């Protein structure tokens, strides 16, 4: 019975590891695809640094986005930096 439990645990571990490896491979493929999209956008004249910032801002909920903007404006004003 112990050998059967050990074999089952080893099989479970192997399956988990294979799933993780598969997902990591898929993740790399998706990251490569995203990099290609940014390269295409850059080739069409878009500023990819600004695009990356917009993607990050769009992920935030409106309250978090407003809080970040308020902090940025407060800090900029404190050092005499005019944002616009």
Q: What tens digit of pLDDT does each residue of 17-73 get?
A: 999 999 999 999 999 999 999 999 999 999 999 999 999 999 999 999 999 999 999
| pLDDT at position 63 | 97
21, 25, 52, 62 from 73: Cα distances, Å: 44, 41, 20, 16
| pTM listed for this prediction | 0.73
> Sorting pLDDT into bands at 50, 70 and 90, what band is 1?
low
DSSP character at residue 33: H
Cβ atoms of residues 76 and 83 within 8 Å: yes
Residue 61 Ramachandran class (φ > 0 left, ψ -120 to 50 alpha, else beta) = beta
Closest C-alpha among 48, 25, 26 to residue 35: 48
> Sorting pLDDT into bands at 50, 70 and 90, what band is 2?
confident
């Amino acid at each position: 019975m112990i050998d059967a439990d050990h074999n089952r645990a080893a099989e479970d571990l192997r399956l988990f590891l294979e799933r993780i490896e598969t997902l990591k491979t898929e993740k790399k493929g998706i990251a490569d695809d995203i990099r290609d999209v940014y390269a295409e956008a850059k080739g069409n004249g878009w500023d990819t640094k600004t695009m990356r910032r917009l993607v990050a801002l769009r992920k935030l909920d409106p309250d978090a986005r407003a809080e970040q903007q308020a902090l940025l404006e407060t800090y900029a004003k404190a050092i005499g930096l005019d944002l616009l």
